[in-house]
Structure 1
Amino acid sequence: MDTTGVLDEALERLHATGPEFDDWLSNHGPMAAEALVRHGAGRDVHRWLDRYGKRLEDAPRPGERIADDSWREALGDARRLGDWLAHFDRLLVSAPERPWRAVLAEWWPRLLPGIAGGATHPVIRVGHAVRVLRDGDAGAPRLRELAHGLGYWAARYQPLPGDLALVSSPHAPAEALRAVPPVADQSGGVGHRLAQLTELPDWAGDGAGTGGGVETVPARLADLVDSATRYYATHAHGNAVMLVHAATAPNAVLRVLPELPSKLWPASLAAAWAASGAVTAAYRPSGPAGAADPGGATAEELFARAAAHGDEHAIKLADTALDVAARHPGDVLPRSAALRATELITPL
């Protein structure tokens, strides 16, 4: 993927910073840098980091060690973010006893119920990290990036409301997203909104009429990513920043899926659907708008436009739109989604 060393340099710069800043905002630097390098904008990464990095804060220091027999007590405790980062650094970088895929397979099902934590940013960061490691170079900066993603997820672990009902639905994912009822009070932040969730259409379950064997999970998950990206093209005005994650969170799961044992695939699909549906419910507008017209611009050209725009969410959405466009070359909506992000989101 990257033979210039730019990505490793960027990751080393970013690992001196924490996963969050201003108390709870997510550090998108590693995710955006990986996407920029992957899609041919590596020469711009350090200049982008010079601008973006001004807002970031130093990495939190560890305090108390996360014990192997009491990690559950520390799960979801944001005060122990530094401890969780150190824990996964030991497992993956400084004192590894197993390959990174074995660590991932152990912790993925532990963390998956808390996929909504950090507004889904931790799982998205893990998805970018795994995509890099799949390229074959498992050097320290890339392993540490996976450690930061998993540590961030563990610290911000947040299950969706315990009484959330998954209502049997005959819809395919595109219709299911449009059928998701909005939360009643959309005046607060993401935590306030997600706490109001009471039900979601159960598209991911076998009761939806779209079930099948475990071998169908990758295609069904890709269908969800495609549908959420198309939904963004016509509904981004609900919240152009936050609705990005309805597409990028399930895409992160899709990127991790090939590295997981297949027995973990059905739960991964269900969690991806819950995350996408929850974000959709939290920021659903009153109705659709017309999709932006990208004209003859290719998905690659629209990614370049997002890179020049500079906002990290626009870059991530364009990165996912490229995946969708590759699966559906004749579909204009993935390109419309990438364009709409640059139109509605404030540039960096």
Structure 2
Amino acid sequence: MNTTSGTLDEALLRLHSAGPEFRGYLSNHGPMAVEAMVRNGQAGSVHRWLDAYADKLEDVPAARSRITDANWPEALGDPSRVTDWTGYFTEKVAERPWRELLTEWWPRLLPGIAGAATHPVIRVGHTVRSLLTDGEDAVLIAELAHALGYWAARHLPLPTAVHPTGGATPSEALSALPRITDQQVTPVEGYAQLASLPGWLTTAESLHLPDDPEAVRQGLTALVRAATLTYAHHGHRNGIMLVHAATAPNAVLRTLPALPRHLWARSFSAAWAASSAITTLYAADAPRPAPSAEAVTPEEVFERAVAHGNEHAIKFADTALDIAATSEDGDTGALSAALNALAQIDKDD
């Protein structure tokens, strides 16, 4: 086992002794942040970062009753059953290949992508990236069970379904979204406002959703890029929450290669619905200038995020580096967005 994958395994084993949330609703970002650090050349900082982060975590919640193939629908979306769900998926990944399990459960979980502010799907995306990069590994397989269990427990459909049928690009549709007035609401409180918010549903459904799988991949990549660049100039109203408008669709994008192509279009649609909702809830209406990234490299940006220490800043920098790597014209907008996150997010938040 190489040094970086060994570090990730060690960190995940530490994190599996803690629950997926703390203080009743805050997500344990440890598995996502340490995976991003390992993937971006910062494995040497993982345990030092985790030593500080672990102080806020809580024990694994008590199990209640066993979830089975027969009774799982009644437990879907019940956060009090999160340990039961982890146990269920732990059993399942021991019985069959992880890709088969993911293919079966992905379409079941997608409608609830907005649950827990999209953290469960983000955790799944980080895990799948490592499985695809490093190969099958017992600790990563266990992490997938934890991530899927968290998603099943926090499964939450948006109050209004979004069916994209228009011709707009992700950038065009994202920039046209309305905003809610109070951007300090919880996601659940904000989601409840969407159905009655003038222009939200029509704008959300204006997105062009292609049929061709490769066009879907390109569209999803364009969505991650648009959401990342939106943060550069509109991230000053709620710097923490807005990062998920980019990191959630990026998690879906990272998962596509592990899924059958016939699931790609609905994956794009679900990612867009979540991203558009979060943008409406947490993006500032009036833009502000973003920090310049002309004099920094992607590696330096990520190093700054790790030094900053906040888990949201680290995860968002990880996504920004993905976008910067796909830029064909040397555009520094994604790196500028990551620097803005460092400015907007207090490291102690």
TM-score in terms of structure 2 length: 0.94
Q: CA deviation at 1:45?
A: 0.6
CA 1:70–1:33 in 2, change beyond 3 Å: closer, same or farther?
A: same
Within 2, Cα distance between the matches of 1:83 and 1:25? 19
Q: CA deviation at 1:215?
A: 2.8
Aligned AA (1:12) = L
Matched, 1:288 2:287: yes
2:169 corresponding residue in structure 1? 172
Within 2, Cα distance between the matches of 1:136 and 1:333? 30
Asked if structure 2 preserves the Cα contact closer than 8 Å seen for 1:257 and 1:265, the reply is yes
How many residues get paired?
342
2:178 corresponding residue in structure 1? 181
2:225 corresponding residue in structure 1? 226
2:130 corresponding residue in structure 1? 132
Q: CA deviation at 1:284?
A: 2.4
Q: Deviations over 1:36-77 (max 9, x none)?
A: 111111111111011011000011232201020121110000
2:153 corresponding residue in structure 1? 155
Q: CA deviation at 1:211?
A: 2.8
Asked if structure 1 preserves the Cα contact closer than 8 Å seen for 2:177 and 2:203, the reply is no
Q: CA deviation at 1:138?
A: 1.9
Q: CA deviation at 1:268?
A: 0.1
1:331 corresponding residue in structure 2? 331
Partner SS for 1:237: coil
CA 1:2–1:285 in 2, change beyond 3 Å: closer, same or farther?
A: farther
Asked if structure 1 preserves the Cα contact closer than 8 Å seen for 2:232 and 2:337, the reply is yes
Aligned AA (1:214) = P
Partner SS for 2:284: coil
CA 1:227–1:66 in 2, change beyond 3 Å: closer, same or farther?
A: same
Aligned AA (2:125) = G
CA 1:285–1:97 in 2, change beyond 3 Å: closer, same or farther?
A: same
Runs of 5+ consecutive residues of structure 2 not aligned to the other structure: none
Which stretch of structure 1 is more off in the superposition, 39-48 or 118-127?
39-48
Runs of 5+ consecutive residues of structure 1 not aligned to the other structure: none
Asked if structure 2 preserves the Cα contact closer than 8 Å seen for 1:184 and 1:196, the reply is no
1:28 corresponding residue in structure 2? 29
Asked if structure 2 preserves the Cα contact closer than 8 Å seen for 1:169 and 1:201, the reply is no
Partner SS for 1:62: coil
Asked if structure 2 preserves the Cα contact closer than 8 Å seen for 1:244 and 1:317, the reply is yes
Within 1, Cα distance between the matches of 2:99 and 2:261? 13
Partner SS for 2:201: strand
1:74 corresponding residue in structure 2? 75
Asked if structure 2 preserves the Cα contact closer than 8 Å seen for 1:2 and 1:38, the reply is no
Percent identity of equivalent pairs:
54
Q: CA RMSD in A?
A: 1.7
CA 1:28–1:256 in 2, change beyond 3 Å: closer, same or farther?
A: same
Within 2, Cα distance between the matches of 1:187 and 1:312? 19
Q: CA deviation at 1:208?
A: 4.4
Q: How do 1:70-109 residues align onto structure 2 when only pairs under 5 Å count?
A: 70-92=71-93, 96-109=94-107
Q: How do 1:1-348 residues align onto structure 2 when only pairs under 5 Å count?
A: 2-4=2-4, 5-92=6-93, 96-162=94-160, 164=161, 166=163, 169-198=166-195, 199-201=200-202, 208-209=207-208, 211-328=210-327, 330-348=330-348
Q: CA deviation at 1:175?
A: 1.8
CA 1:184–1:341 in 2, change beyond 3 Å: closer, same or farther?
A: closer
Q: Deviations over 1:142-196 (max 9, x none)?
A: 111111110000000000013x455754421112111111135435211101111
Partner SS for 1:65: coil
CA 1:237–1:169 in 2, change beyond 3 Å: closer, same or farther?
A: farther
